[in-house]
Amino acid sequence: MKIGFIGSGIMGRPMAENLLRAGHQLTVYGRRFDRIEPILVRGALGKGTPAEVAAETDVTFTVVSDTTDVEQIILGDRGLIQGAKPGHIVVDMSTVAPSATRRIAAALAERGVHMLDAPVSGGETGAREGSLSIMVGGEVPIFDKVRPLFEILGSSVVHVGGHGAGQVVKCCNQIVVGLTFEGVAEAILLARRNGVDPVKMREALMGGFAGSRILEVHGQRMLDSHYKAGFKVKLHHKDMAIVMDNAQETATPLPGAALIAQQMNALMGAGDSELDSSALMRALERLTGESK
């Protein structure tokens, strides 16, 4: 298949590079030339609008920041829908509201264009290494067509249901990730305030049921107070807003998720939007006066 790719940020750029490395030709669009230039240098072809990308390809991936951007890129005046031929497949790997995904999929279907929602987990490292977890919503035959491309981008590729199901599962992912961040941060804080070495505490926990990838990687970040962005606070803040909106739409009680949403609000208010979301540790430290 001829592949289009739109989105060249922290996640999108390494994903596009992995597709190129696998031998696929990409046609790309970006609002900023400096963002797509590294991909063009590696052999991708550039176009001036999303519609032009769709007109030249069979499947187009989008990896952008929020629902508004996704809607504009896909349904806008120069969006993919304007250039896509019947049978074209749009694969949105952004994290957006499930309701928006279903609305976009319906609009595309009226033109004979297919859609998969395929948000990811794994951060910049997973994008770079091609080891992302990809949760896919949409029709099974369309998923089967795109699966070989997903397998270049991720090590775990799971079809989870119809349109919007991928986004619902991503909401679930962000709840678990956020609450695990909270648990690790609280454990470090409690150990420290009891005079117990939090490094030794983490080492002990890694050998039992509390052990996790988050305790391993982000627990170390919290111990080092090293929050260079892998997945930014502002993106986790946005994702938790999606979670809480969906909870309201479905009358689902999510008290733990509400706590994480408030922690992300606190970090945003403190000017920490560009830090890694494991900086949630800072929100707790500020409650004790240990951090400004």
DSSP per position, 70-135:
HHHHHHSTTSHHHHPPTT-EEEE-S---HHHHHHHHHHHHTTT-EEEE--EESHHHHHHHT-EEEE
Region of residue 26 (phi > 0: left; psi between -120 and 50: alpha; otherwise: beta) = beta
Phi then psi dihedrals of residue 3, to 5 deg: -115, 130
Token look-up 């999606």 returns: 242
List the catalytic residue out of 47, 170, 232, 238: 170
H-assigned helices in 194-232: 198-206, 213-224
C-beta of residue 234 within 8 angstroms of C-beta of residue 274: yes
Task: Return the closest-CA partner of residue 138 out of 185, 184, 98.
Answer: 98
Apex 222 CA angle, 195 and 242, nearest 5 = 130
Q: How far apart are CA 44 and CA 81, in angstroms?
A: 22
Instruction: Verify whether residue 170 is a known catalytic residue.
Output: yes
**Coil vs helix vs strand at 110:** coil
C-beta of residue 146 within 8 angstroms of C-beta of residue 152: no
Instruction: For residue 152, give the H/E element and its range.
Output: helix 140-153
Instruction: For residue 61, give the H/E element and its range.
Output: strand 59-62
Active-site amino acid positions? 170
